[in-house]
Amino acid sequence: MAFYFEEPSHTFGEYLLIPSYSHAQCTPENTVLRTPLCRFKRGEESPLSINVPLVSAIMQAVSDDKMAVALAREGGVAFIYGSQTVEAQAEMVRRAKAYKAGFSPSDSNITPDATLEDILRLKEKTGHSTVAVTHDGTPTGKLLGLVTSRDYRPSRMERSLKVEAFMTRIDKLVFAYEGVSLKEANNIIWDHKLNALPIVTKEGNMVAFVFRKDYDRHKENPLELLDAHKRYVVGAGVNTRDFEARIPALVEAGADVLCLDSSDGFSEWQARTLAFVRERYGEAVKIGAGNVVDREGFRFLADAGADFIKVGIGGGSICITREAKGIGRGQATAVIEVAKARDEYFEETGVYVPICADGGIVLDYHITLALAMGCDFCMLGRYFARFDESPTSKVLINGVYMKEYWGEGSARAKNWQRYDMGGGAKLSFEEGVDSYVPYAGSLRDNLAATLAKVRSTMCNCGALSIKELREKAKLTLVSSASISEGGAHDVLLKDSAMGYREK
């Protein structure tokens, strides 16, 4: 007969951490969130570590080259989605690796015959007030001028007014030529009291902007994740169908780490892909695998040579695998069991294989719970999809700005490779939904708040590192009544939009 687990599986929302003694030096500023990303042997260091324990999901709606740069700048890694052509994905990797810190390609561009109405729509879409006016409206077209918020006043100008009538023309602009160093560019900005400095080719084509605000951010950002050549660390997703063509292309493009993207990693297909990597590249190419939810799945992928292993099936906010197929496990229980298996594997073999909690994280404190339960880092989709840096559109719905967000198993993504079981090359039924998430602004601001909560909770547990958190954490299951007790209750909450509401 079938095997039955004696205990029900649990989610992160069913647990709380119990505080431990905190000494005087246990403050958020002293915490270290650096964590290994890839396997390593006892007594050695991981060949690749990240400075914050967060990576972005391998999803069309989450991780492109823009997200890769933004997240590496904050100390994490984005895995550029693989449900696109090999050439398109490799080009995204190249763009992210070629990104020169401080030099921002223009993503707000317009032609001179556009109108003020077009400028306002573009600003609403991108959130950027500096717009490059190029001859063809592309980021690399001939620069004709700039439009900033100082160039127009919607209350006093006709919306049909042409951009060329109010833009600051090129002959009135301070700009620099391609090849200028970042230090030289920043000196020009300070000398001329500029907010933005356009960088152009000798022929006058737009290359990038250097912004005054980025100088301050760079100085304030000691956690940015760089490779040996001072380029941002970039990840990329691969599948088990076209890996023989995709992996070499991504390696050639400069990807620092790869990850097999599958809803179920306990399969011969993943073992074959890992074997291909090891036979062709040895240990030089780093590749994670997954997803699994138990000890057997972990051991299988660890023995197959995975550099890290993702944990979780059906726990993502847009994932309906459990509903569609009845496959999965409560994410907290899955992480706890796989973490134990990882530690057993380390004791037996002397090889430490990091694990990644993928899915099931709804609130910020769930990240800390996942780390306390044993994961080395977390993969997030919905969380990052809300930000300016995600590749989806910002839309206004019922007076509220939202961002589009869809699952790789949805009809929109059609990423059948992620759910491949060796049959036909098609998505037979949906395992994900098409949805919206509330727009939240910039990645940097939101991530800073999230990590502040993680650091504070670690201090409540008397821990200054993730390893110490795992050693000192005390966790308790909570009842539904205690979950309700944990939020605001028995009061009238103030709400500026709707008056008072009872809680």
Catalytically active residues, by annotation: 319, 418
Phi, psi of 489 (to 5 degrees): -155, 155
Q: What kind and span of H or E run contains 68?
A: helix 65-74
428 phi-psi bin (left φ>0, alpha ψ -120 to 50, beta other): alpha
- Alpha-carbon distance values, 63 to 57, 96, 383 (Å): 7, 11, 12
What Å distances lie between residue 119 and 174, 346, 397, 399, CA to CA? 22, 57, 21, 21
Compute the distance between CA of residue 252 and CA of residue 133 in angstroms, rounded to an integer: 34
Q: Which residues contact 153 (CB under 8 A, 6 or more apart)?
A: none
Question: Three-state DSSP class for 142?
Answer: strand
Q: What six digits make up the tokens of 479?
A: 């009842």
Alpha carbon distance 410, 407 (integer Å): 5
Q: Is 321 exposed, middle or buried (0-12, 13-18, 19+ CB in 10 A)?
A: buried
- Report the distance separating Cα 479 and Cα 481, nearest Å: 5
Number of alpha carbons in the 13 Å side-chain half-sphere of residue 294: 7
- 3-state helix vs strand vs coil in the chain, percent to 5: 35, 20, 45
How many CA atoms lie within 13 Å of 106's alpha carbon, on the beta-carbon side? Answer: 30
Give me the residues paired with residue 319 across strands.
432
> Tokens standing for 195?
């907010």
Compute φ and ψ for 117, nearest 5 degrees: -60, -40
